[in-house]
Structure 1
Amino acid sequence: KTQAKQHNITAILQIGIPPLMLAFLKRAGVVAEGMGTGAFLAGEAVRDLLLGFPRQEVSVVVEGDALKLAAALCEEFGVRFKPQPKLPGGTLRLPDGSKCRLTEARAEFFEYAFGTPLEGTSLRQELYRRDFTIDALAVELSAERFGQVVDYFGGREDLQYGFVRVLHNRSFVEEPRRVLRAVWLAERFHLQIEGQTLKLLREAVRDGVLSRVSPEGLWREVRPYLDDDGAPRFLGRCAELGIWPYLFPAASHWEVEPVLTYLPQALKTVESWGVVFGERWLSYFIAALHWTDPPSAQALCERYRFGRNTTAKVVAAVRHWQEVLGKLTVRGNANTSALARAVLQLPREAYPLLFVLLGEEGCRDRFREVLTAVIANKPRITGKDIKKMGYAPGPLYREALDAVWQARLEGLVVSREEEREFVRQYFARRESEGSPSQRFQCRHRE
């Protein structure tokens, strides 16, 4: 297709973009035109807006000097511009919190494209770099043509019919992570992977293109997908297409699929009980690995370069969930304090897994009672308070705070000062009974 199909979506922009950002985009078009260049809203923001999803973050492609345009707009709007390290452009944040990324349209080509330069504008060449046709849409920002959709590759029609389609046959070879992006787009927005694209995707997976991606790069791509309620569908499709073993080599999808399916509702239910999840993706990660063993879980965490605390959470969940589940399902009366002691062995991100596995309403009610007690007796002091008391930071912080938590549940401490005294005694006891390294950690800093 050599000519761009055009439709005006000004009304959609007015609904889906914050007013200040809309004013900024209009001004960007005018200022760019005054500089003898063009500016276009482009990429994922256009796709999402056409699908009916509002956007707080947008991207603008400039057919010219993006840094010059950014400098003029920053001065006019009184905002700062953060340049990006490798390509001309960067990001600015407006006072309402919305963000705009400005980049220059590039004319050079990737190794695996058609091998010959495309005819047309640098905008067309820039859009040809995108992952899929539905990502290769742009919107005019000039005053005269503001809101006109620029569609060189049929992306608007693919959106209309619900297709995810690559721009050329070497797309997955050129960028293996597009395999994951195609699956995510299809599951997140309830689209279909177009027939030829699906064939190319299957061939790419069979040929092992994902093995070319570093473990860290693979995880950076996948992690955001696990923060969404569509994560179970995404993971299920990954299993169907042979992608799962690249993500969770030690786990079997069929074993964990029932838990993953009900995890979004479990997260919402446990949150309604007052539990706050800092990292929702970690609940899916733990659920995916819960039938493995601690060494395998730790190995995968290290492969993905997780931090020490995150790795400890995953390993603790894999090691203790069956023990905790057994105690919560014992018939008859149970000591809430004893159950709370068991539950505190798990990170809160493992609570949705427990909720799903408990199954029976009575067991879930008991679990809720335990969590209510745990939340109500959360220690008042924090790691910062322990540091102020003069103890060197380390793993014993977490152990000491858990011990305080248990002491509160048992009514042994109540006030903040009692908690501090409990910590002093705890560290003194650990210093007297621990290894040389533990004794060193317990000592007060000079």
Structure 2
Amino acid sequence: MSYADHLRAALAEPDWVTLQRLAEIATRLGMSLYLVGGPVRDCLLHRAVTDLDLTTEGDALILARTAAHELGGTWKKFNRFGTAKLILPGRARFAPIDLATTRTETYARPGALPDVVRGTITTDLIRRDFTINALAIRLDGAQPGALIDRHRGEHDLRAGALRVLHARSFQDDPTRLFRGVRFEQRFNFAFTADTLQLIAPALPVINQISGDRIRHELELIWGEAQPWQALARLDELGILQSIEADLHVDDWIAVHFQAQPTRDDRFACWAWLTCRLSETSLTRFSQRVNLARAEAIDLEQVRALRAAADVLGRLNSRSSIYRALAEYHDRSLRVALTVIDQPAARAALELYLDQLRDVRPTLNGMRLQELGVSRGPMIGRILAEVQAAVLDGIIATPQQEEEYARQIMAREGREA
């Protein structure tokens, strides 16, 4: 079977047709066109290809604009890297097609974003992270379907080997460490011995990349079929500790990732990774990966709930459970249920979420003022006591609420 046949078998039929149309347009414009990187890798592994990453030795922006016009789509350009996203009808979920001009990259310092100049398909492939991604299939010209493999990437695919293309690869871009671990676990591959030796010297450079880039790489791990294995490997290689020294992965994390049906919940994944950190370590971690403030607050709530599980499990009234949990956000409470093992604490959380959180007395501050209570903190104290009585089943009707409030007012009057 030719590479073109492999590619056609790996693609949905509409995508195959789209590539043929794009190749025709590129040829008419006098441009080359290649499918590059991950899609070629997946094709050679006989996996379905859903991403379309294309590159041309011509001008990707002109190609994208022309294709959008002729094929009834839209496009968006990114001038810095000479790239574009092309959205065409017929693509599943309107997934964008990535179009790039072949380029050469240099790095002003370790961990920096690359400086880009136009290049050839040869220079474009050598800038890739691993040999298994330094592959291209030509789509235009006299030999469509020809494989371009300058770095024995197909050989490494067959061997299950992850190999960088040069010795400074991880130092130039430390996010390749995270990607390598993802590929290692996803494909059941292994770093080659020479590549493995390059990891430890690159760990300090992780400190020089932005929190946004680290967060993005971890969130890509959440999308893997077995994210706990990738996390364990990051731990084993010292990569996690380069982000936060107290972060470790053990069987507890693996069990919780495997047991939950909601691994597509990004917040839950963050919580499973971090809920056993100290408050100080969690704050430091959240800041390092630049989590949104709301997400950082809720992660701290999950951590605090887990730490307080013994106390929570000893609460013996509905009103005391309400008081303990009323300030926590629903997301925090629901995810806390997945990390708290004590049955009594879990029961308290479930009771609050299912029955207590929306319980409110019908009595309000305006009615208390009509009953003679002056505006001020007294109103809040009375309403809190009335609510507790409703929660505990001491009172049940609006009339009983008013009578209970009058009793509190009388008591407060005597104590004043």
With the length of structure 2 as denominator, give the TM-score of the two structures.
Answer: 0.73
Question: Which has the higher mean CA deviation after the structures are superposed, 27-36 or 342-351?
Answer: 342-351
Q: Deviations over 1:206-226 (max 9, x none)?
A: xx2222223333223322223
Of 322, 332, 335, 2:307 maps to 322
Give SS of 2:52's match: strand
After TM superposition, the structure 1 = structure 2 runs for residues 430-445 of structure 1, keeping only pairs within 5 Å, are none
Q: How many residues are paired up?
A: 355
- The answer (yes or no) to whether the contact 1:13–1:49 under 8 Å persists in 2 is yes
Aligned equivalent of 2:40? 46
Report the CA distance shift for 1:64/1:376 in structure 2 as closer, same or farther (over 3 A).
farther
Of 286, 289, 298, 2:283 maps to 298
- The answer (yes or no) to whether the contact 1:313–1:347 under 8 Å persists in 2 is no
What amino acid is the match of 2:79? Answer: P
Aligned equivalent of 2:164? 166
What amino acid is the match of 1:42? Answer: V
Aligned equivalent of 1:257? 250
CA distance in 2, matches of 1:199, 1:211: 19
CA distance in 2, matches of 1:47, 1:411: 62
CA distance in 1, matches of 2:301, 2:392: 26
After TM superposition, the structure 1 = structure 2 runs for residues 27-106 of structure 1, keeping only pairs within 5 Å, are 27-95=21-89, 96=91, 97-106=94-103
Select the structure with the greater relative contact order (CA < 8 A; seq sep ≥ 6). Answer: 1
- The answer (yes or no) to whether the contact 2:302–2:336 under 8 Å persists in 1 is no
Report the CA distance shift for 1:371/1:189 in structure 2 as closer, same or farther (over 3 A).
farther
Aligned equivalent of 1:428? none
Give SS of 1:130's match: coil
Aligned equivalent of 1:374? 353
Question: Which has the higher mean CA deviation after the structures are superposed, 53-62 or 166-175?
Answer: 53-62
Q: Deviations over 1:368-398 (max 9, x none)?
A: 896498368987xxxxxxxxxxxxxxxxxxx
Of 207, 213, 218, 1:211 maps to 207
**What is the root-mean-square deviation in Å for CA atoms of aligned residues?**
3.6
Residue 358 of structure 1 pairs with residue 341 of structure 2:
yes
- The answer (yes or no) to whether the contact 1:176–1:209 under 8 Å persists in 2 is yes
Report the CA distance shift for 1:228/1:325 in structure 2 as closer, same or farther (over 3 A).
farther
Aligned equivalent of 2:154? 156
CA distance in 1, matches of 2:346, 2:289: 32
Question: Which has the higher mean CA deviation after the structures are superposed, 348-357 or 92-101?
Answer: 348-357
CA distance in 2, matches of 1:48, 1:376: 49
Shift of 1:342: 5.9
Aligned equivalent of 1:247? 243
- The answer (yes or no) to whether the contact 2:75–2:84 under 8 Å persists in 1 is yes
Percent identity reads: 25
Aligned equivalent of 2:268? 283
Give SS of 1:60's match: strand
Residue 231 of structure 1 pairs with residue 199 of structure 2:
no
What amino acid is the match of 1:175? Answer: D
After TM superposition, the structure 1 = structure 2 runs for residues 411-430 of structure 1, keeping only pairs within 5 Å, are none
Q: Deviations over 1:416-436 (max 9, x none)?
A: xxxxxxxxxxxxxxxxxxxxx
Report the CA distance shift for 1:106/1:143 in structure 2 as closer, same or farther (over 3 A).
closer
- The answer (yes or no) to whether the contact 1:105–1:126 under 8 Å persists in 2 is yes
What amino acid is the match of 1:267? Answer: Q
CA distance in 1, matches of 2:54, 2:101: 9
Report the CA distance shift for 1:137/1:202 in structure 2 as closer, same or farther (over 3 A).
same
After TM superposition, the structure 1 = structure 2 runs for residues 365-404 of structure 1, keeping only pairs within 5 Å, are 367=346, 371=350, 374=353
CA distance in 2, matches of 1:352, 1:48: 35
CA distance in 2, matches of 1:306, 1:86: 26
CA distance in 2, matches of 1:148, 1:377: 65
What amino acid is the match of 1:247? Answer: I
Shift of 1:80: 0.8
CA distance in 1, matches of 2:310, 2:267: 19
Aligned equivalent of 1:313? 298
What amino acid is the match of 1:98? Answer: A
Aligned equivalent of 2:375? none
Structure 1, unaligned runs of 5 or more: 1-6, 114-120, 272-276, 380-402, 413-446
CA distance in 2, matches of 1:38, 1:372: 64
Report the CA distance shift for 1:109/1:293 in structure 2 as closer, same or farther (over 3 A).
closer
Shift of 1:302: 2.7
Aligned equivalent of 1:185? 183
Of 192, 195, 212, 1:194 maps to 192
- The answer (yes or no) to whether the contact 2:302–2:335 under 8 Å persists in 1 is no
Report the CA distance shift for 1:127/1:110 in structure 2 as closer, same or farther (over 3 A).
farther
Shift of 1:142: 1.9
Shift of 1:108: 6.2
Structure 2, unaligned runs of 5 or more: 111-118, 359-383, 394-416
Aligned equivalent of 1:137? 135
Shift of 1:98: 2.5
Q: Deviations over 1:265-291 (max 9, x none)?
A: 2321xx5xxxxx8x6333232233223
Shift of 1:349: 6.0
Larger of the two Rg values belongs to structure:
2
Give SS of 2:182's match: helix
With the length of structure 1 as denominator, give the TM-score of the two structures.
Answer: 0.69
